[in-house]
């Protein structure tokens, strides 16, 4: 008997704060960062670049692209490979126009609706990452709760606005 099972997708939330190099269009760089992160976290075509065919399939020892045994860059997310904040930072840093990463937040939902900021998201068995939310902006990374749509806890009600008052 053969039992076929699909993967278990783990929702991952990523918020990145970058500093753009001088002379670069901020919106274009942010769009390129979003595209790079989506490509990297794609379960079907993403994953770390440079994974050799021999690492993924010990029978294959060639890197010739004409060889059907050769695995192209981005051959899909490897099973049992965790999502790490440092890897995401490396992907963002390689995007042209990014001077440096100001901050990065990686979140995973635990217990249904609670979003936890973490250094890494473990992938075991048939687990694969699914990018559930992504924010890229200039400066500090956005709060993960705001990214998920939760109202941030503040002391000031959201409908009040501070106005300057001139002295008499």
At 89 the three-state DSSP class reads helix
The Cβ-side half-sphere exposure at 81, using a 13 Å CA radius, reads: 15
Q: Phi and psi of 81, rounded to 5°?
A: -100, 125
- Tell me the pLDDT band of 160, cut-offs 50, 70 and 90: low
Could you tell me the pTM of the whole model? 0.73
User: Which residues on adjacent β-strands are paired with residue 118?
Assistant: 106
71-86 pLDDT, tens per residue? 445 578 898 999 999 9
134-156 pLDDT, tens per residue? 999 999 988 888 877 765 444 44
Strands in the chain per DSSP E: 8-20, 83-84, 98-110, 114-118, 120-121, 127-138
User: What pLDDT, on the 0 to 100 scale, is given for residue 33?
Assistant: 96
| Least confident window among 1-15, 30-44, 151-165 | 151-165
Between strands 8-20 and 127-138, the pairing is: parallel
Any idea of the CA torsion for 89, 91, 94, 99, to the nearest 10 degrees?
Answer: -30
């Amino acid at each position: 008997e053969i039992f076929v099972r699909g993967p278990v997708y783990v929702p991952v939330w990523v918020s990145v704060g970058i500093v753009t190099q001088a002379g670069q269009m901020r919106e274009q760089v942010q769009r390129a960062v979003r595209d790079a992160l989506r490509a990297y976290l794609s379960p079907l075509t993403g994953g770390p670049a440079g994974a050799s065919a021999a690492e993924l399939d010990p029978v294959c020892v060639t890197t010739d692209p004409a060889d059907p045994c050769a695995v192209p860059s981005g051959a899909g997310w490897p099973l049992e490979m965790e999502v790490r904040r440092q890897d995401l930072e490396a992907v963002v840093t390689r995007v042209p126009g990014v001077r440096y990463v100001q901050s990065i937040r990686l979140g995973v939902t635990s217990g249904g609706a609670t979003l936890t900021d973490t250094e890494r998201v473990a992938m075991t068995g048939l687990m694969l990452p699914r990018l559930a939310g992504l924010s890229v902006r200039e400066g500090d990374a956005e709060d993960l709760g705001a990214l998920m749509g939760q109202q941030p806890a503040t002391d000031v009600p959201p409908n009040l606005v501070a106005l300057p008052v001139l002295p008499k």
